[in-house]
Structure 1
Amino acid sequence: MSEKFKILIVEDEMLIGANISLQLNELGYEVTGIVPRGEEALQHIEKTTPDIMLLDINLKGDLDGIQTAIEMQKTHNIPIIYLTANTDEAHFNRAKETKPFGFISKPFKKLDLQRTIELTISQMDKKIRMHTDSESLSSNSFILSDSIFVRHLNSMVKVEIKDILYIEAERNYCRIFSSTKEYLVVLSLKEMDEKLPAKHFLRTHRSYIINLSQIKEIAATHVVIGNKALPVTKVQREELLKRIQAI
């Protein structure tokens, strides 16, 4: 594994969490944290975004695992693997709505954990390849002052800058969300940030670049674009307010 996948463990039984962490380290994964509450998990991913969340369904506190997943998915697209001791049909049906990549029943063996994570990574890679084949920027694509040319099937499609809502990092790629479609771009978010016209766009978070003209609402920790709340770091919020005033 050339690059360690980062995994967050959300488990309120700390002995179980510590045991999972040990197993993940032995398997070659990086554990970004072990947190016992959904609220803490949401705070954690704003500082360190994992590649995968191992999420106990029956968390104690104000948010159970499913509610935590729902809140997380408002701002992030992190694959979920649920951990559960016993889930009735009602909980299972609620959990399905969050589109998890897998379920692991407690108690589980190290091999169960290993295979479920490997299958999740395989699904993630397959999803990226599928999108890359259908909608991506080729190596000779280019960005103009008022538009981006995106490869779609066998042709290049012009996407107007004004129609772009925001851009989200997806490992070594980034996804452009326009007012009508999504496009997967074979560029890192850092590379995209360097190429985009600065007067229109601002990187507000390690995972997001926003189109300043598309902002509907500015809050203390996020902005609203379309129907999605996108996180803004404290430092970038100050820059955002300066840029908005200058428009």
Structure 2
Amino acid sequence: MPNKTKILIVEDDMIIAANISLQLTNLGYQVTALISSANDALLQFQNNKPEIAIIDINLKGKLDGIDLVTKMQETQNIPIIYLTANTDEAHFNRAKSTNPFAFISKPYKNLDLQHAIELTLNRIKANKSEIKLETTEKITPFILSDSIFVKHLEKMVRVNIEDILYIEAERNYCRIHSKTKEYLLVMTLKDLDEKLPNRHFIRVHRSFIVNLSQIVEIATSYIVIAKKAIPVSKALKEELLNRLQTI
């Protein structure tokens, strides 16, 4: 019998949490826990890592659902599905900066939940297939003063530094987002960060390196590049602001 997908539910309304759990169980998934607070959820992430987490944005307490995901992403990446109710634009932009796989609006329909899980699983599968396809042979990128040569479809192609928007960590891989294409590299974000020219790039989060020249907006906890909100760690915010004044 195939292993059941493990799903964590973080929702402070236990009636809603129980209904979600029942539906997921009936659909053949394994609910690892029903958690009502962000602090308890952080412990659960450490002790019994789920494959998907469904998290209510409006958790009560010091940390809301977005704060919880931000803290969780400092140490690990787990596909997130947000539950939302009357979320304003500010909350939506904060949530978007954590790169969720899906949003479910309350009150939700059973089919909404089912589709969100299926789409998330399809995206996880596609990411794994792409990594397998692109990384059959490990080739370190060549980094020059104005460009990077990276492997793409069995060839080494040149990517101009001025065209790179940002670079995103995917576990032991990196995804370069350029103005026209995306490229997957077989190396960690930490290793790539050490090789990139620091006059152009800065690491702003454990999962993101950005091209300083591409930043178009700076908010309290995120920046915007090409209409994408990218989270900024508090510890790195001051360095980012200092670097922007020198370019």
Q: TM tier, shorter chain?
A: 0.5 to 0.7
Contact 2:203–2:210 (CA under 8 A) maintained in structure 1:
yes
Q: How does 1:11-160 map to 2 (within 5 A)?
A: 11-14=11-14, 16=17, 20-22=31-33, 29-30=48-49, 36-38=56-58, 40-49=64-73, 50-53=77-80, 55-56=82-83, 61-63=85-87, 71=93, 74-80=96-102, 87=109, 92=112, 100-102=116-118, 120=121, 124-134=124-134, 138-160=138-160
Deviations 1:19-66 (A, max 9, x none): 8444897xx83269996544721121222124123555xx5x5339xx
Change in Cα spacing, 1:125 to 1:37, as seen in structure 2 (3 Å) is closer
Change in Cα spacing, 1:135 to 1:68, as seen in structure 2 (3 Å) is farther
In structure 1, the partner of 2:233 is 233
In structure 2, the partner of 1:115 is none
Contact 1:7–1:30 (CA under 8 A) maintained in structure 2:
no
TM-score (norm. length: structure 2): 0.67
Equivalent residue letter for 1:63: T
Equivalent residue letter for 1:208: F
- Structure 1: how far apart are the matches of 2:233 and 2:34? 33
TM-score (norm. length: structure 1): 0.67
Give % identity: 40
In structure 1, the partner of 2:183 is 183
List gaps (5 residues or longer) in structure 2.
22-30, 36-43
Equivalent residue letter for 2:243: R
List gaps (5 residues or longer) in structure 1.
104-118
Q: How does 1:165-204 map to 2 (within 5 A)?
A: 165-204=165-204
- Structure 2: how far apart are the matches of 1:52 and 1:68? 22
- Structure 2: how far apart are the matches of 1:69 and 1:132? 35
| Aligned-residue offset at 1:195 | 1.4
